[in-house]
Amino acid sequence: MSEWWTYRLESFLLFSPRVYWRMFELHNAALWPLQLATLASGVVIVLLVLRRAPGHGTWIGLILGVLWACVGWSFLWNRYAGINWAALYVAPAFGLQGLLLAAAGASGGLACDRRDVTGRLGLLLVASGLAYPLLAPLLGRPWISAEVFGVAPDPTAIATLGLLVAAGGRWQPLLCPIPLSWLLLSGLTLRTMGEGQALVPLAAAGTAVALLILRRAPSSTPA
Amino acid sequence: MITRRRFIEAATACGAAFALPAPAPAATPAPMARAIPSSGERIPAVGLGTWITFNVGDDAALRDECTGVMAAFFQAGGRLIDSSPMYGSSQPVIGYGLGKLGRPAALFSAEKVWTSSPAHGAQQIEQSRRLWGVERFDLVQVHNLLAWEAHLETLFAMKAEGRLRYVGITTSEGRRHELFEEIMRRHPLDFVQLTYNIVDREAEQRLLPLAAERGTAVIVNRPFRQGALTRKLAHQPLPGWATEIGAGSWAQVLLKFILAHPAVTVAIPATSRIDHVRENVAAAADPLPDAALRQRMAAHVRTL
Ligand SMILES: NC(=O)c1ccc[n+]([C@@H]2O[C@H](COP(=O)([O-])OP(=O)(O)OC[C@H]3O[C@@H](n4cnc5c(N)ncnc54)[C@H](OP(=O)(O)O)[C@@H]3O)[C@@H](O)[C@H]2O)c1
């Protein structure tokens, strides 16, 4: 589009906050009680990391891979694209992230074998992704509009980044860009809508980047 | 706990309430109409925009709310509804509403073509037509001058074949006015659409006079600066001169300011509310401010 610099973020916002939050209500109502299963799978990921059972990385990669593909297909492609045509272009990236996560898991790239402070903070980020549904009532919205890990993109991206912080490894440069970009996009969308919640995905992305840098620093030795 | 069934029941009940035709306001006079210079056909001077407000996806309750807004719009005497393939689900939501309202004959459909691919234009217009569920569009405009040369060719060819009635181009927020002017001079456009309101008045310099000179109808978008003006003015008392022009609200003040420009044919405020759509259409009525009062109005709003 020519003269693109004359466009503000508001020029690209296609929907009202009311329609945006009702979209989550409709999506949750359509999928219920699948949310319980996706949340349980998140808890399983945390337990796998804590127990460090042999081959846990493979399972984590598989679970996260399936969830990313489902969020891309079910939420972005079939739901969000209804009010935001740009979601059609983002959905394939979620599919790709799913494939990458499964491949990383299968090749040992998601093994969380190190116990250090950054690793634990990474787990805390996973936990905050799982606790994300609490934001809805905390910010005065009904429970039914809650964003749930494995169903909505923001908590899925946050928990995934937490896991990547905990795992470290050479797959990180491949696995981090899509969740980080999504959180940036989501934060900007919420900000443009004037929603205070915008801070949450942006702060989560910032925290993840800081932890990823810390994790790669030479002083971060295995405990 | 809200189960899926309970949720759907509640949503349906809510939708049913909004789908009911709005009660007719007591003996509303027909809104002021303006002639389209290229044909002489007259259309009511306030239309309905659908950017954001009608992009509600497949949310059944909100689709019915939009239908309620359309019902009130037609009941008040409104005709022109403006949309674009860029506006998410607005097109199917309009189509849904028109279907529910029995495809009102009064409709004046104003669509846009919005694709950078010259070859895709005709196909996109056909897809839009199906989404609206109309036989043909009254007006198709090249949205924001995107691939305008090729699309104008397509649109003029379609007009010659009787597959649409009027051809136009759009811009907003003062973008590309020089090119816009050049196209207005070189092509026999029926309509132009541009931003004009009490604070964004660049169009007064060249485009509005040129439209008057060339006999091109003018659709005014962003009359309320996408709601920023109505929100800002909501807490300000209405000045005394508002009664002189029969304006009962700031929205009506803003619309009457626009409609008082002699080159303006239709202003197209968007709204998600039945009371607002009625208020907006009712602004298309005499008295309108004269040139001196318009200056005072603009000066007053600048001070707020
Ligand atoms: N390039 C282009 O072709 C282009 C660009 C921009 C716009 N457009 C067209 O022009 C239309 C209008 O522009 P717009 O939608 O950007 O903005 P607008 O019409 O200036 O403002 C819409 C806002 O005004 C509020 N509003 C409407 N009636 C009101 C009233 N009586 N009292 C108080 N508030 C009122 C609405 O809120 P409520 O829902 O609460 O009433 C809505 O948020 C668009 O919908 C679109 O069809 C075209």
Is B23 a residue whose pLDDT tops 60? no
Q: Give pLDDT, residue B25.
A: 53
In whole angstroms, give the CA distance from residue B164 to residue A188: 39
Task: Tell me the pLDDT tens digit for each residue of A56-75.
Answer: 999 999 999 999 999 999 99
Task: Tell me the pLDDT tens digit for each residue of B51-94.
Answer: 999 999 999 999 999 999 999 999 999 999 999 999 999 999 99
Cβ-nearest to B8 among A11, A29, A84:
A29
B113 in helix, strand or coil? strand
Atom 43 of ligand 1 has which residue's CA nearest to it?
B227
Is A217 a residue whose pLDDT tops 90? no
Q: Give pLDDT, residue A3.
A: 58
| Structure-token match 């001169």, residue found | B241
Is A14 a residue whose pLDDT tops 60? yes
CA angle B211/B213/B217 to nearest 5° reads: 35
Q: Which of A146, A140, A163 is nearest to A215 (CA)?
A: A163
B80 forms beta bridges with B108
Mutate to test the interface with B, among A9, A12, A15 (most CBs of B within 10 A): A15
Sign of CA dihedral A140, A141, A144, A149: negative
Q: Give pLDDT, residue B11.
A: 37
Q: Give pLDDT, residue A101.
A: 98
B:84-143 residues touching chain A, CB 8 A cutoff: 86-89, 116
Confidence of residue A50 (pLDDT cuts 50, 70, 90): very high
Q: Which residues of B touch A32 (CB under 8 A)?
A: 2-4
Average pLDDT over chain B, rounded to whole?
92
Q: Which residue has the higher pLDDT, B256 or A170?
A: B256
Mutate to test the interface with A, among B3, B55, B222 (most CBs of A within 10 A): B55
A14 and B55: CB-CB below 8 Å? yes
Q: Which residues of A touch B112 (CB under 8 A)?
A: none
Is the Cβ–Cβ distance between B266 and B281 less than 8 Å? no
User: What's phi and psi for B140, nearest 5 deg?
Assistant: -125, 130
Q: Is the pTM of this model over 0.80?
A: yes
Is A19 a residue whose pLDDT tops 50? yes
Q: Which of B161, B51, B61 is nearest to B112 (CA)?
A: B51
A82 and B89: CB-CB below 8 Å? yes
CB pairs under 8 A between A and B: 63
Task: Tell me the pLDDT tens digit for each residue of B147-193.
Answer: 999 999 999 999 999 999 999 999 999 899 999 999 999 999 999 99
CATH of B42-236+264-286, one of 3.20.20.100, 1.10.3210.10, 3.60.15.10, 3.40.120.10: 3.20.20.100
Is the bond preceding residue B44 a cis peptide, omega within 30 degrees?
no
Q: Give pLDDT, residue B9.
A: 39
Decide whether any atom of ligand 1 lies within 6 Å of the B55 Cβ.
no
pLDDT above 70: percentage of residues in chain B: 91
Is B20 a residue whose pLDDT tops 50? no
Average pLDDT over chain A, rounded to whole?
92
Task: Tell me the pLDDT tens digit for each residue of B97-147.
Answer: 999 999 999 999 999 999 999 999 999 999 999 999 999 999 999 999 999
Q: What is the DSSP letter of B278?
A: H
Is A164 a residue whose pLDDT tops 60? yes
Q: Which of B195, B181, B192, B113 is nearest to B151 (CA)?
A: B113
Is B47 a residue whose pLDDT tops 60? yes
**Chain A residue with minimum CA distance to B90:** A83
What average pLDDT does this structure show over A45-55? 92
**Residue A26 sits at the chain B interface (C-beta within 8 Å):** yes
Strands B33-35 and B42-44: antiparallel
Over the Cα atoms of chain A, what is R_g?
A: 17
Task: Tell me the pLDDT tens digit for each residue of B221-260.
Answer: 999 999 999 999 999 999 999 999 999 999 999 999 999 9
Q: B228 Cβ partners below 8 Å, 6+ apart?
A: none
Is A79 a residue whose pLDDT tops 80? yes
Lowest mean pLDDT among A161-170, A178-187, A195-204, B69-78: A161-170
In whole angstroms, give the CA distance from residue B5 to residue A198: 31
Q: How far is CA B146 from CA B93, B114, B175, in A?
A: 24, 6, 12
Confidence of residue B13 (pLDDT cuts 50, 70, 90): very low
Give the minimum alpha-carbon distance from B37 to chain A in angstroms, rounded to a whole number: 31
Task: Tell me the pLDDT tens digit for each residue of A91-125.
Answer: 999 999 999 999 999 998 898 877 789 889 999 99
pLDDT above 90: percentage of residues in chain A: 82
Q: Give pLDDT, residue A54.
A: 87
Q: Which residues of B touch A26 (CB under 8 A)?
A: 11, 58-59
Q: Give the residue extent of every domain in chain B.
A: 42-236+264-286
Pocket test for ligand 1, best of B48, B50, B51, B275 (most atoms within 8 A of CB): B51
Decide whether any atom of ligand 1 lies within 6 Å of the B225 Cβ.
yes
